[in-house]
Amino acid sequence: MRQFNASALELADAHAKGLHTIGDAAKLTGVSAKMIRHYETLGLINPTDRTQANYRVYQTREIHLLSFIKSARDLGFSMKQIAQLASLWQNEKRSSAEVKKLALEHIQEMDERINALQNMRTALNELATRCQGDDRPDCPILEGIACCKTQGSTA
């Protein structure tokens, strides 16, 4: 709950009350101003108060939430998962079992992506090994890509 009316404040007064502009929030959290606005449109953070000059101002709790979101993004969580995590983080009555379930599901998804990437790397490495890499036009890499595209196509 807000303890003041930021729209009645000048920017200097907002700073004096410990509020941060979007630029300050970006510097403090490592989240760009564009992403902060995006998170607001997604509902990950609540719309902020604004000064008389229409500057967005953020309280300390919003700075913490932005840092939390950045950390979750750095761990590869999706926006949907981050919304769930942020909701749990802000809920003091949460069950840690819910959080663990989300984390384990994310680990499973990462394992699947890692496996897929390893398979892609192996396939590409095999194609690169077969390529002479000389001045001739025939190229096993291009042939292999064309072959895989054709084989995987359902059209």
> Domain extents for the chain?
6-77, 103-152
Q: Is 20 helix (H, G, I), strand (E, B) or coil?
A: strand
Question: Which CATH number fits the domain 6-77, given the four candidates 1.10.760.10, 1.10.1660.10, 1.10.8.80, 3.10.20.600?
Answer: 1.10.1660.10
Give the model's pLDDT for residue 52.
Answer: 83
CA 67 from chain centre, in angstroms, equals 11
What's residue 68's pLDDT? 97
Sign of CA dihedral 136, 140, 142, 143: positive
Q: What is the pLDDT of residue 155?
A: 46
Phi and psi for 10 in degrees, rounded to 5? Answer: -80, 160
- pTM for this predicted structure: 0.77
pLDDT at 99: 96
- Could you give the 3-state DSSP secondary structure of residue 57? strand
Question: Average pLDDT by consecutive 10-residue portion of the chain (155 residues)?
Answer: 58 79 95 96 90 87 96 96 95 94 97 97 94 90 80 48
